[in-house]
Chain A
Amino acid sequence: MTIHIQKIRKSFGAQEILHGIDLHIQTGELVALLGPSGCGKTTLLRLIAGLESPDSGDISFGSDSVVRVHARDRRVGFVFQHYALFGNLTVFENIAFGLRVKPRSQRPSESVIRDRVEGFLKLVQLPQLGRRFPAQLSGGQRQRVALARALIMEPRVLLLDEPFGALDAKVRKELRRWVRQLQQSLKLTTVFVTHDQEEAFDVSDRIVLMNAGQIVQSGSALELHDSPSNDFVHSFIGDSNRIRGQITGHAFRSAPWHYAVNAGASSAGESSEAAAAWARFRPHDVELQHFSKGVPVEKGLSARILRATPMGALVRVELLPIDASPQDVGADVLDAEIPRSDFDRLGLREGDLVSARLNRVRIVTASDTTAPRAQ
């Protein structure tokens, strides 16, 4: 079942939470709505479920517009962050709930209900726990019950609201792999909300990154990481460094780092006035050389190694501007990730002076960050 979301707007009181969302989700696709808290991702999910109604815009499943359909008639499955299991009912009765509240003419017989619930208890790997109450289960088990309760209704789409957020790290990882496998075997169109990018990368086919009530970029984890559409994506996805400087014409300069680069046809325009700007780059796009072996290399910045921490095949190096002292509390610090072999070959140590060559630098001006919000 495809989901088409068109020009959805939603306000709570005077504050608009969603500023016109367009999103199309393919049948069987597993989409993660990712973004910082307050970006509107949960509101969007609740709008798809029918728990909120939009101020304007349309939502359809396949060719059916559901925007005026009550939540109980939308045939969606919804899993809440805090499970929302019925505490006064056993696990069995929780899963059977949706079947039991059907109108009498459509309600399956008691024996059919029993068979189907037993089947779903097996599917979510809790065959022996039907008689327990939710309070007697662990967090991971509760979330499996919540999934079974949603799936037994054969929903057209499955919606998960931070489903692993309340679980501890190990259970979270196991459960999300399992949910992914289950989703693949059922080929069920699924949307899940998360603020954890690792989780979004790990589980989804596609990530829809949201910020301040808008979709900022949508694509695979690699696309978002390697070709961020703006500075927000660059800073939100993966690790990111930022050094402050000024742009004059095409030239970006950062005095504390003794760094200059040609910004190319930047969006700053051709103004010859100096404007505040910053350079953004990933820690693994930094190459180090000894500073003492001659003049700084082309496009390199000058720095002192503050700390070097081994991390498996990499060494994480913290860099300080060459003129700043380590006691300088407010000083900028950069992270670089250098292959362990390179680090050892150069024989680098803490306190050494280095030139750092930056491979993929993005020059950002203040107007770049505000641009996507002004529509």
Chain B
Amino acid sequence: MSSVSRQHRPAPPLGLSRLVLTGAALVLVALLLLLPLAAVFVEALRKGWEAYLAALREPDAWSAIKLTLLAAAIAVPANLIFGVCAAWAVTKHRFWGRSMLVSLIDLPFSVSPVVAGLVYVLVFGAHGWLGGWLQQHELKVIFAVPGIVLATIFVTFPLVARELIPLMQAQGPEEEQAAAILGASGWQTFWRVTLPNIRWGVFYGVILCNARAMGEFGAVSVVSGHIRGQTNTIPLHVEVLYNEYQSSAAFAVASLLTLLALATVFIKSALEWYRDRSP
């Protein structure tokens, strides 16, 4: 979208079809994006600021916020490390099973989150394959925090890797080869050459991964058990409140996720703006 191409292209005539298409697009954007966005905040503040803050300070809500932050704080760094390693292995090296690994990275996107959650229940649950062993050692995974973290990691698995693979493919292995010939070890090459080249992709991947980790519903819902004040994350807590007809409290908590989404979009744009102005 360069301004040059816009200047040189003659403006098409103001036809009826153009008006209809533009109008339809605007109506759609308003109906599907702007209206719900506004509705969240209007509903959340319907009973005033006091009620809004009270809904957030309420112990179960506060516990859900803390659990969501914890899950994201573990899942995002885990997927950051995994994503960078996987993208590096897949793009800079050739090995047997490489294309299978690429497909595996995409698996969490193609599997329904509910199925993912159920698989964890089948493996780690009380009657699951590892359930007996876990019980003997008094380890609780399902209906507890570890299960929620696992489900979150699974769902956000591809985000960082998917952001980096095309980028690293386009850059090719030449700079790494040049570094190796100059005597750099693999570790030095990674820190001094590879990572600086992909830093913007890493930032995007992390903020997208974070947004998804905090907003995940399906897989987490299956493994959480919905124990109020213990295993409810923000999205699950919103559902509980909504089902109990506490709609303005539900919207108040939901507004946090909405703000997160807005912040994500804003940070991403700001990063892009900054990237285009740095060498």
Contacts and interface: CB of A to CB of B under 8 A. Distances in A.
Q: A and B: real partners?
A: yes
Interface of A: 49-51, 70-74, 76-78, 80, 82, 84-88, 97-98, 101-102, 133, 135-136, 149-150, 153
Given A86-B193, A88-B197, A101-B188, A72 B178 contact: no
B117 to A, nearest CB: 41
A64 B219 CA distance: 59
Contact of B182 (A80, A101, A135): A101
Contacts of A153: 182-183
Interface residues of B, number: 17
A50 to B, nearest CB: 8
B196 interface: yes
B192 interface: yes
Contacts of B193: 86
Contacts of B50: none
Contact of B181 (A71, A82, A86, A87): A71
B185 A101 contact: yes
B174 interface: yes
Nearest to B182: A98
A101 B178 contact: no
Contacts of A82: 174
Question: Which of B178, B192, B197 gathers the greatest number of chain A CB atoms within 10 Å?
Answer: B178
Nearest to B186: A72
B180 A71 contact: yes
A98 B179 CA distance: 8
B178 A84 contact: yes
A146 B197 CA distance: 18
Contacts of B183: 72-73, 98, 101-102, 153
10 contacts: A72-B181, A78-B178, A84-B175, A86-B175, A86-B178, A86-B196, A87-B197, A88-B279, A97-B192, A98-B182
B185 A72 contact: yes
Given A78-B178, A101-B185, 9 more contacts: A51-B177, A72-B181, A73-B183, A76-B181, A78-B181, A80-B178, A88-B197, A88-B279, A150-B181
A97 B197 contact: no
A72 B279 contact: no
Contact of B174 (A50, A80, A133): A80
A150 B183 CA distance: 11
Nearest to A133: B279
Interface string B180-218: 111111001000110011000000000000000000000
